[in-house]
């Protein structure tokens, strides 16, 4: 994946995770809240991977 697609996918997962958590809270479903938290964390990790790829690309481009 490119850095941009990592970031976009990460944001999408983070938003979906937050929605799952909110739904889980609304219906008192701890499993859904946990799945939402995990998906949100996955999204943050994907965004971080995209940022890391950007940083590496900048270093390589300067060399």
pLDDT score recorded for residue 12: 97
The whole domain housing 12 covers 3-62
Per-residue pLDDT for 63 more than 90?
A: no
- Cα separation, 36 vs 39, in Å, equals 5
CB burial readout 30-59, b (16+ within 10 A) else e = eebbebbeebbebbeebbebbeebeeeeee
pTM for the structure as a whole: 0.86
Is 90 exceeded by the pLDDT of residue 59?
A: yes
Question: Domain total for the chain?
Answer: 1
For range 48-55, the mean pLDDT: 95
pLDDT in tens, 1-51: 789 999 999 999 999 999 999 999 999 999 999 999 999 999 999 999 999
């Amino acid at each position: 994946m490119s850095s941009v697609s990592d970031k976009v996918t990460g944001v999408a997962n983070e938003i979906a995770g937050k929605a799952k958590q909110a739904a889980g809270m609304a219906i008192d479903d701890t499993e859904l809240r946990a799945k939402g938290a995990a998906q949100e964390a996955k999204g943050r990790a994907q965004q971080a991977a995209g940022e890391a790829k950007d940083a590496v690309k900048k270093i390589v481009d300067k060399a």
